[in-house]
Structure 1
Amino acid sequence: MRLSVFVFLALVAIAAAQAQKPASDIDIKAQISECYDKIGDPCQNATDKIENEACVSSLITTEVCVGQCEYDNKDSLQKVLGCYKSICKSENSYIQTYLGKVYTCLSGISILGFTLAASTLALLL
Structure 2
Amino acid sequence: MKNRVSFYVVAALIVLGVLGIAVSVFSDPAGVLRTVAISAIVIAIVYFLITRVTSSNSGNKENRAFKQAARKSKKRFMKKDATSSASRKTKTASLTSIKKPKKKSSVQLTVIEGKKSKRKNRASL
- With normalisation by structure 2, the TM-score equals 0.30
Q: Where is the helix percentage greater, Structure 1 or Structure 2? A: 1
- With normalisation by structure 1, the TM-score equals 0.30
Higher relative contact order (CA 8 A, sep 6+): 1
Select the structure of larger CA radius of gyration: 2
